[in-house]
Amino acid sequence: MNNWNLLKGINDALDRIIRAVNKREKIVIYGSYNVDGITSVSLLILILKYLNADVEYYIPDRINEQNIFNSAAIENHIKLLGASLIITVGCGTNSFEEVQLCKKLGIDVIITDYQKPKSTIPETIVINPKQEGCIYPFKELNAVGVAFKLACAIAEHYHVQCIEKYLDLVAIGIASSNVSLVGENELMIEKGIYYLTYTNNYGIKAIMKINNITKINYSALRKLANIVMPKINAVGRMDDARIVVELFTTLDNGRAEQIAKYINKTIQYDAEKINL
């Protein structure tokens, strides 16, 4: 499962990330507003913060059907953060104009994605098992699966122990997706269930505690994914994607419980509206 070096582009990505971490360049993780994207963002935030990297993230709060990774966000948000490196998760494979804009702004881009390229790919570092010339044998990874491979590469370079403990997040992201539960996906789910049982992630523990989830199995994974799934309000704005990232990445147990209670209240409020 750790044959990450078979992924085309991953060694180039690792070299660029090492430089950014060691020089404390501003790194921005750019992801989608679904659970797959949120767990991907959270995973990379956790490992990069562990390495004391200067890292932030961006998740669009409005649905953009054409492109999650879009020029308006780059101009209005990413540029203002002072980023010198963007790492996308689950988006960007077909973002040609956006990559060119980043080049003009002096921002390097690493694309990690799982969606099939339309034809060619942007002129930047791309990690995507479905891109032409990639010999990675398992093609059914989702966003968090690809992000985990990148995390494994980073962990190996910096001698980070037990990278597999993050499979608790990975399993939730896989369970939220429509990917086939075969091969590596099945293996990551199985290992993720094991690590969820002994998780030290304050946010996951808080959600499990408040919702009385004691038996960890695939049904529990699906329940966890549904609980933290951001909702869409009337004007197409995504609610709570950022608060879920904070839930999964906080190192404060009290804050984790506070966020978990807030998420549960939101679910109850939505249920009451539906029943009116």
Q: Is the pLDDT of residue 176 over 90?
A: yes
pLDDT given for residue 273 in this prediction: 42
pLDDT given for residue 86 in this prediction: 98
* pLDDT digits 0-9 by tens, 100-152: 999 999 999 999 999 999 888 999 999 999 999 999 999 999 999 999 999 99
Q: Is the pLDDT of residue 272 over 50?
A: no
Q: Is the pLDDT of residue 175 over 50?
A: yes
Q: Is the pLDDT of residue 73 over 80?
A: yes
pLDDT given for residue 65 in this prediction: 47
Which whole-number Å values give the CA distances from 8 to 23, 41, 144, 202, 255, in the listed order?
25, 21, 17, 34, 39
Q: Is the pLDDT of residue 245 over 60?
A: yes
pLDDT given for residue 269 in this prediction: 44
CA-to-CA distance for 1 and 136, rounded, in angstroms?
11
Domain ranges for the chain: 4-275
Q: Binning pLDDT at 50, 70 and 90, where does residue 67 land?
A: confident
* pLDDT digits 0-9 by tens, 147-160: 999 999 999 999 99
pLDDT given for residue 275 in this prediction: 37
Q: Is the pLDDT of residue 52 over 60?
A: yes
CA-to-CA distance for 193 and 191, rounded, in angstroms?
5
- Interval 225-242 mean pLDDT: 76
Q: Binning pLDDT at 50, 70 and 90, where does residue 230 land?
A: confident
Average pLDDT, the chain: 91
- Interval 246-266 mean pLDDT: 94
- Specify the range with the lowest mean pLDDT, choosing from 69-83, 196-210, 248-262: 69-83
- Specify the range with the lowest mean pLDDT, choosing from 68-77, 128-137, 145-154, 232-241: 232-241
- Interval 34-50 mean pLDDT: 97
CATH number of this structure's domain 4-275: 3.90.1640.30
- Interval 42-52 mean pLDDT: 97
Q: Which residues pair with 58 in a beta bridge?
A: 30
Angle between helices 183-197 and 218-228 (to 10 degrees): 80
Q: pTM score, two decimals?
A: 0.94
CA-to-CA distance for 276 and 273, rounded, in angstroms?
5
Q: Is the dihedral of CA 256, 163, 124, 130 positive or negative?
A: negative
Q: Where are the beta strands (DSSP E) in 32-124?
A: 54-58, 85-89, 108-112
